[in-house]
Structure 1
Amino acid sequence: MSGLRERQKADRHRRIIDAATALFREAGYEGAKIEAIAARAEVSIGTIYNYYQNKGDILGAIVSMEVNEVLNAGRGVVASPPANVGDALDTLIGIYIEHSLNYLSKEMWRQAMAISTQLPDSPFGQAYTALDRELTRQISALIARLQELG
């Protein structure tokens, strides 16, 4: 039974994220309302608040999903980098840039950065900083790997 319950919970979460992503792109972060996200996701407003405290937390979840996908794509470059240092860094950073607009528009990234700098001690600000650190660690891992390879 718990398997079904977990699948339903994951499905609701995915629908909320998908709805918010679409509405943030269409109406902008400020223009997207929790009520509209709930309607598009086919969940109640209360369900959204069971998952997230506010709209910024939803944006944070989308940012986290985006960055984690970027990190996963970058792992392949770190594991098997181009021999040339410049090419290796270009490849890794190219993945970051190319992938950065899959879920988030430029306006959404600006909003995420604004929230993280205005509220650095908030859960969103701390999560955003942690994701930035992971990207930095991956670049450092690439450099270390290149050094190993000579």
Structure 2
Amino acid sequence: MSSLRERQKEERREAILDAAVALFDQLGYSATTVEQIAARAGVSAPTVFNYFGSKQDILYALAVRADTLALDEAIEELPAMDSMVDAMCHLNSMIVKRELEALPVTVWREICSPYGNVSEGYQAVNQRLMQGTAQQLRQAQQRGRISSQYDPLFIAEFLNDYCTLMFAKLVHEDSPDLSAHDQRVRQAFELIFNGLHP
């Protein structure tokens, strides 16, 4: 019985997230209310608040889901990559792809300034990404792929700041060009990792 209840809870949670994405896309993040999300998901507003403390928490749950999926997918493939540039470019590409699938560009425009600043709450999402990236960099150090004199967390923070800025610029383009974005990121990563080579 408890597995049925857990499955129903997860289905309700997903219905709320799906309703939120549809409304964020249709009305914009700021104009969407929790009551509208609840009505579209077929639940009450208090039920939404039971699952998510606020509309902002729904947004973060969507971003965390996208970033976690991207990180998990990329981490499986990273050890097989000979080049750290290829590995980090692949990770960034997966994150961008999943984030743009999770939320419409219009919503990302609302929550990311063109200067790379993100809301305070979203910084917690970025922190999770930095920790995952730092772990990959530690493993690269252990395999002798990058110099051990550099702090993996510092490198991860630096890469995250750069990628956040580039993502904010991407979503503010009239017609976001993923190919040009990937090329700019690759150029920066080549510069960084050529300098970090032991």
TM-score bracket relative to the smaller structure: 0.7 to 0.9
Q: In 2, Cα distance between the equivalents of 1:108 and 1:145?
A: 39
Q: Which ranges of structure 2 fall in alignment gaps of 5 or more residues?
A: 146-197
Instruction: Report the CA distance shift for 1:90/1:125 in structure 2 as closer, same or farther (over 3 A).
Output: closer
Q: Counterparts of 2:96 and 2:52 in 1: how far apart (Å)?
A: 28
Measured after TM superposition, the shift of residue 146 of structure 1 is: 6.3
| Contact 2:70-2:91 at 8 Å conserved across structures | no
> TM-score, normalized by length of structure 1?
0.78
Give the Cα separation in 2 of the matches to 1:101 and 1:95.
Answer: 10
- State the one-letter code of the partner of 1:144: Q
| CA–CA distance in structure 2, aligned partners of residues 107 and 139 of structure 1 | 31
Q: Whose RCO is larger (CA < 8 A, sep 6+)?
A: 1
Alignment pair present for 1:88 and 2:83: no
Structure 1 or 2: more helix by fraction: 1
Q: How many residues align?
A: 144
| CA distance in 2 between partners of 1:145 and 1:75 (Å) | 16
Whole-angstrom CA distance in 2 between matches of 1:137 and 1:26? 37
Q: Which amino acid aligns with 2:95?
A: Y
State the identity as a percent: 32
Per the alignment, residue 38 of structure 1 pairs with: 38
Paired position in structure 2 for 1:106: 105
Structure 1 or 2, whichever has the larger Rg, is 2
**3-state SS of paired residue (1:100):** helix
**Maintained 8 Å contact 1:71/1:138:** no
* Partner Cα separation in structure 2 for residue 45 and residue 8 of structure 1: 17
**1:44-66: CA deviations, max 9, x gaps?**
11100111121001111111101
Gaps of 5+ in 1: none
Q: Deviations over 1:78-133 (max 9, x none)?
A: 2311x23433333222222222201112333344457x855x3xxx3563243232
